[in-house]
Amino acid sequence: MHSMNNPNFFLGIESTAHTFGASIVSNYGKILSNEKDIYIPPTGKGIHPRDATQHHCEKSPQVIWRAFKEANLNPKDLTAIAFSAGPGLGPSLRIGATIARALASFLNKPLVPVNHAIGHIEIAFLTTGSKDPLVVLVSGGHTLITAYAGLRWRIFGETEDITIGNLLDMFAREIGLSPPSGVSVEQKASYGKKLVELPYSVKGNDVTYSGLLSASLRRFRKGDRIEDLCYSLQEVSFSMFAETVERSLAHTEKKELLLTGGVAANKRLQEMLRIIAKDHNSKFQVVDPKYSGDSGAQIAWAGYLAFKQGIRIDIDKSYVVPKWRLDEIEWKRL
Amino acid sequence: MEEIVNNSRNLIRKGAEANLYLANWHGKKVVIKQRVPKHYRVLDLDDRIRKYRTYHEAENLYLARKYGVSTPIVLSIDDINYTIIMEFIEGDRLKEVFKRMTDEERAKLSVQIGELIGKLHKNRLIHGDLTSSNMIISEYDRIFLLDFGLSFQSDKLEDMGVDLHLLRRALFSTHHEYAKKCFTKIKVGYSKEVGMNAANNVIKKTEQIERRGRYCIQREI
């Protein structure tokens, strides 16, 4: 164990989708810097992997430079370099991985692959002090309910098709709202008055959203008010998921409920889960909003935790893993 | 009914769907299952869901028993408070029972669970929320299925596949130490009941549904 005077530092590089992020954290959980640059697609378009890659290529040198400057750290003083190895868009992932490999090779530091979902979960633990929660991870890539047991994150419920992030993105894109779509939909929803009848599809602890997306777009083309549709889409999709969270909470009887991921910043979703947690005498916690969206910090911190349990990867084997499920990973919670 | 619903009742469990109260009803020990308003949902949506599920639960509890699957007997339905009064089943939830059983006992019970699900599916009844919280093991190891709030009638392969998928996942998340063995036995019981061919089709569908999970290697999109 190192003394407080002699902390270790970890660089985390995030590039799973539209965010390129770099962050430096210490082994004491201090986030010294968390820099990022987000690729924003034109209104009406989604993230094109090629354009996101181009963006990451252009922005990554300054983002990394800023991360070192903000942390006031010499790269030579790093203990290891962590990168998000997946899941995510292949071309985007490869940019972060290439940079991480180059730095690890040049500085002669160990390279640590990190699962992006583990990053979302661990940064939420760090910023809330949660102990043994039921975790709700909601983002562009994930919509799932999980709890830790027997060296693994066990999935209790998830989406069987698209995520809440996908749903909001695709809906916003089709009706011409500007990105970031979650924020746009939330703003429009606040002016909504009428609950439009939309399909509510819950299967045990699972949800499916593709039918809801099609139905919402159909109603849009028929001329329903955008505000009412945003309101209804948000209410129905969040209620569906909240219901499965409540079912999982009743089943697992966990005393903490921890919300993380990009959509965790949504006030309405927070409100729903807060009510549910209270009803089941469970403590509701939300990741610090600074770290709800994709960030280098989640990778740096999870990278340190991975490093501590002995996870390293040789540069010549450090492939990215675009498809990498949370429950495939053996993970020690230390 | 109002009187029983409002007086002399003890909350025994707060489920996700409803509150369960233990009460005395004409000298009989009963459970009052009340679908209380869920304040996280907007009123319209909440009302629609509670109403729909109260009716369907009562109907399908009855149908399941008709098909030879033990369920609590429905004594009364109140469509204003969205309340069902049903027989109280003495016993423990499978969730607890499984944990204290030996491998052989679990295997035997798993085959029986598979048979019960087979009986439902053979009669086009889908439970919709099969977990170890929704089964009670009563005297003489008799298994009662509960919580038919998400149940519906269908003869689609997809719906049967989802039903088994949900049970499989519930086992692998809550009972990961022995989930694999139990699910294998559940499939044995299920096949016994619906026949080898039908069972294989459903099981194949279940595997396909599993692959719809995000970031599954075999996922097509």
Residues of chain A predicted below pLDDT 50: 1-2
Rounded CA separation B117/B105 (Å):
19
Contact B45 A87 (CB under 8 A): no
CB of A25 closer than 8 Å to CB of A12 = yes
pLDDT, tens digit (0-9, with 9 covering 90-100), for B16-48: 989 999 999 999 999 999 999 999 999 999 999
- The number of beta carbons lying within 10 Å of the beta carbon of residue B66 is 11
pLDDT digits (tens, 9 = 90+) for B180-194: 999 999 999 999 999
Residues listed for chain B: 221
Write out the H or E segment, with its range, that includes residue B61: helix B43-66
pLDDT in tens, A214-231: 999 999 999 999 999 999
Q: What percent of chain B has pLDDT over 70?
A: 95
Q: What is the pLDDT of residue A321?
A: 96
Contact assignment for B212 to A161 by CB distance below 8 Å: yes
Tell me which chain B residues have a C-beta less than 8 angstroms from the C-beta of A237: none
What is the model's pLDDT at position B217?
A: 81
pLDDT at A1: 47
pLDDT greater than 80 at residue B111: yes
Do the Cβ atoms of A67 and A328 come closer than 8 Å? no
Q: What is the DSSP letter of A178?
A: P
Amino acid at B148: F
CB within 8 Å of B45: residues ≥ 6 apart: A195, A200, A235, A236, A239
CA distance to partner chain B, nearest, from residue A45 (Å): 19
B7 pLDDT higher than 60: no
In this predicted structure, what is the pLDDT of residue B219? 73
> Is A174 exposed, middle or buried, given 0-12, 13-18 or 19+ CB atoms closer than 10 A?
middle
Q: Which of B41, B172, B209 sits opposite A154 (nearest CB)?
A: B172
Residues 117-146 of B with CB under 8 A from A: 128-131, 133
User: For residue B4, what pLDDT band results from cuts at 50, 70 and 90?
Assistant: low
Measured distance CA(A78)–CA(A91) in Å, rounded: 27
Do B214 and A205 make contact, defined as CB atoms within 8 angstroms? no
Q: Is a pLDDT exceeding 70 seen at residue B8?
A: no
Interface test with B, best of A207, A247, A284, A326 (most B CBs within 10 A): A247
Confidence of residue B195 (pLDDT cuts 50, 70, 90): very high
What's the confidence (pLDDT) of residue B220? Answer: 64
Q: Which residues of A touch B42 (CB under 8 A)?
A: 195, 235, 239
Touching A: B residues 31-60, CB under 8 Å: 38-42, 44-45, 49
Query: Is residue B163 over pLDDT 60?
Result: yes
Residues of A in contact with B179 (CB under 8 A): none
Which of B49, B174, B213 is opposite residue A158, by nearest beta carbon?
A: B213
Determine the distance in angstroms separating the CA of A68 from the nearest CA of chain B, rounded to an integer.
33
Interface check for B217 against chain A (CB to CB < 8 A): the answer is yes
Pairing of strands B152-153, B125-126: antiparallel
What tens digit of pLDDT does each residue of A23-64 get?
Answer: 999 999 999 999 999 999 999 888 999 999 999 999 999 999
Check CB contact of B161 with chain A, cutoff 8 Å.
Answer: no
From chain B, the residues in CB contact with A161 under 8 A are 212
Read off the pTM: 0.95
Question: B155 catalytic, yes or no?
Answer: no
Q: What is the pLDDT of residue A191?
A: 97
pLDDT of residue B9: 79
**pLDDT for residue B2 is more than 60:** no
List the catalytic residue out of B129, B147, B159, B163: B129
Q: Which of residues 146-205 of A touch B (CB under 8 A)?
A: 147, 149-150, 152, 154-161, 163, 195, 200, 202-205
**What is the reported pLDDT for B154?**
98
